[in-house]
Amino acid sequence: MNYIFLVYFFILGLIVGSFLNVVIYRYNTGKTIGGRSGCMSCGKKLKAFELVPVFSYLFLRGKCSGCGARISSQYPLVELASGLLFLALATKVFDSNPTFSPEQASLYGASILHSTFYILFATIFSILVVIFVYDIKHKIIPDGLVFAFAILALIYQLLNLDYSNINLSFWLNIFSGIIFFIPFAALWLFSQGRWIGLGDGKLVLGIGWMLGFVHGLSAIILSFWLGAIVSIAIMLTFQLKGRGQNITMKTEIPFAPFLIIGFLIVFFYPIDVFNLSLLFNL
Ligand SMILES: [Zn+2]
């Protein structure tokens, strides 16, 4: 794959990222998505050169040119993350490892299938970027976003299933979202929302359908490991500072970012942590 092609997808991701920042900022606030962006302190409308993803932040050294108020590092970070995700997605979808069968390719034409899958995945990644930041900021996962992810992931799973071979793996994959949702919902119910939020359960619907049963389970296990490591690190830090009294997983540490990181790791590197594919002969 040539570099110009990759740069194109990186820039596309940067631009989408700056739009996602607007969505994160205005979602559920009653404000519309449209309209010119301005400084949150002095209200100064941004000029065209101040709207360039990442570079404007660096050029302005993270401060408003009108009043000198600090601009949140969320803006360049979301833009950069989106740029890198769109780039990585292009290398996965357009290069190796086709996400569709040779029969589908001959039926629809490979380039159309590539583009369709790219748009589907890019939409899903954009939704996940918003959920990631939104959960950190507000400790809540918006229903509209998490259900949109679940529906798109189910569509992908239905497109991807091998209908000529209806075996155990077929049924596990078609129900994987629900299979993962049930234990999360049970944990939420029994702990009355103290151990885990129901939003996390809704999030694993999409993760299950997107990755299928074996890899979906790997992603969720990875996210628990990551979550445990980071939680212990945070608790130790608080203990050392003598403020360790009231920390629980739910109140202090949002879990959606770990689920999303686990998902992304397994999406790009299909790990099977328990070697389940051997067990089920999948
Ligand atoms: Zn300002």
Which residues, at least 6 apart from 146, have a Cβ–Cβ distance to it below 8 Å?
A: 131, 199, 202, 203, 205, 206
pLDDT band with cut points at 50, 70 and 90 for residue 249: very low
pLDDT, tens digit (0-9, with 9 covering 90-100), for 99-131: 556 666 666 667 788 888 999 999 999 999 999
Find the 55 Cα to ligand 1 centroid distance in Å.
Answer: 18
Find the 29 Cα to ligand 1 centroid distance in Å.
Answer: 21
pLDDT band with cut points at 50, 70 and 90 for residue 211: very high
pLDDT at 44: 83
pLDDT, tens digit (0-9, with 9 covering 90-100), for 4-24: 888 999 999 999 999 999 999
Find the 35 Cα to ligand 1 centroid distance in Å.
Answer: 17
Find the 20 Cα to ligand 1 centroid distance in Å.
Answer: 21
Find the 70 Cα to ligand 1 centroid distance in Å.
Answer: 8
The chain-wide mean pLDDT, for the chain, equals: 86
| pTM, entire model | 0.88
pLDDT, tens digit (0-9, with 9 covering 90-100), for 30-71: 666 666 677 878 878 888 888 889 988 998 899 988 888 888
Find the 130 Cα to ligand 1 centroid distance in Å.
Answer: 25
pLDDT at 281: 56
Residue ranges near ligand 1 (ion) with Cβ within 5 Å: 39, 41-42, 44, 64, 66-67, 69
pLDDT band with cut points at 50, 70 and 90 for residue 89: very high
86 vs 52, more confident: 86
Give me the residue spans of the domains in the chain: 1-138, 162-282
